[in-house]
Structure 1
Amino acid sequence: MSLTDAVLLIFIVLMLLYAMYDEFGMNLLKGKTLLKVQLKRSNRLDCLIFVGLLAILIYRNITTQGAPLTTYLLISLALIAVYISYIRWPKLLFKSQGFFYANAFIEYSRIRAMNLSEDGILVIDLEQRRLLIQVTKLDDLERIYHFLVENQ
């Protein structure tokens, strides 16, 4: 196994761990999930460029008679990237003490203000940061509002 294969294998393992944490780990951490809301996907173009570059590397590895293991690892990396960007949905998970947004847990006590923009984006102001939350369905904004009012 070459250094390139080892680095590819490390990235594959890290991406798989991230996908498992995103899908299963956040549900299990910090107590029971009280509300789950799907968010709009972003960075699809970035993934498309990444997969395109991987396709170029796969093509180059095949045409230059590269190691088959490298080809398989590159294909695996491309498949995992497609899963993370196009198949799974980003989500907002509300727990009893806070919520998970972008894989980070934010406690309710950190919220300073909440506003709703005209185009349906929920703006949550924290101490030093502003979260812009775009939901897939506008009805979810009402569910979030009712949840926060009932649980605060």
Structure 2
Amino acid sequence: MSVTDIALIIFILLLLAYAIYDEFIMDKRQGKTQLRVNLQRRNKIDAVIFIGLLIILLYNNITAHGSLLTTYLLISLGLIAFYISFIRWPKMLFKPTGFFYANSFITYERIQAMNLSEDGILVIQLEQKKLLIRVNHLDDLENIYKLMVNYQ
């Protein structure tokens, strides 16, 4: 097993751990989920470039008669990257005491202000940064509003 194979295995395990956490574990943390909102997918071009580079590496490995293990690892990494980028939806989970955004938990007490831009982007001002939330369906903004009003 080469260093390349070991690095590929590490990246595959890290991406699998992230996908499992995002899909199954995050929903169970911090209490019952009150609202789940799908967000817009972003960075599609980055994912296409990454998968394209993996295809080039796979082609080079096959034409150079490289290791069969490396071929399988590259295919696995490409499939996981495709799942994370194009099948899985980024989401925002609202819990009784806060919400998950970008895989981090933010309590409701940290919210300083909330604004809605003209193009449907919810801006949540925290102590030191702003969260720009782009929902997939504009109806979800009303659900978020109702949940926030009920919290206060």
d(CA) in 2 for partners of 1:55, 1:38? 29
Partner of 1:120: 120
Per the alignment, in what secondary structure is the counterpart of residue 26 of structure 2?
helix
Q: Percent identity at matched positions?
A: 66
TM-score, normalising length from structure 1? 0.99
How far does the alpha carbon of each residue in 1:12-37 deviate from its partner, in whole angstroms, 9 at most, with x for none? 00000000000011101001001000
Q: For residues 38-85 of structure 1, what are the alpha-carbon distances to aligned partners after superposition, in whole Å with 9 as ceiling and x for unaligned?
A: 000001110000000000000000000000000100010000000000
Per the normalisation by structure 2, the TM-score is 0.99
Mapped pair 1:91 → 2:82: no
Shift of 1:140: 0.4
Name the residue aligned to 1:68.
Answer: 68
Task: State the number of aligned residues.
Answer: 152
Equivalent residue, structure 2, for 1:33: 33
SS at match of 1:5: helix
| Distance in 2 separating the partners of 1:84 and 1:98 | 25
Give the equivalent residue in structure 2 for 1:58. 58
Cα separation, 1, equivalents of 2:137 and 2:58:
38
4+ residue segments displaced more than 3 Å: none
Q: Does 1:16 align with 2:37?
A: no
The runs of 5 or more residues in structure 2 that have no matched partner are none
For the residues of structure 1 that align with 2:147 and 2:97, how far apart are their CA atoms?
13
Q: Which residue of structure 2 aligns with residue 82 of structure 1?
A: 82
Distance 1:91 1:38 in 2: 4
Equivalents in 2 of 1:45, 1:34: separation in Å?
33
Backbone CA RMSD of aligned residues: 0.5
1:130 maps onto 2:130 in alignment:
yes
1:136 aligns to what SS in structure 2? coil
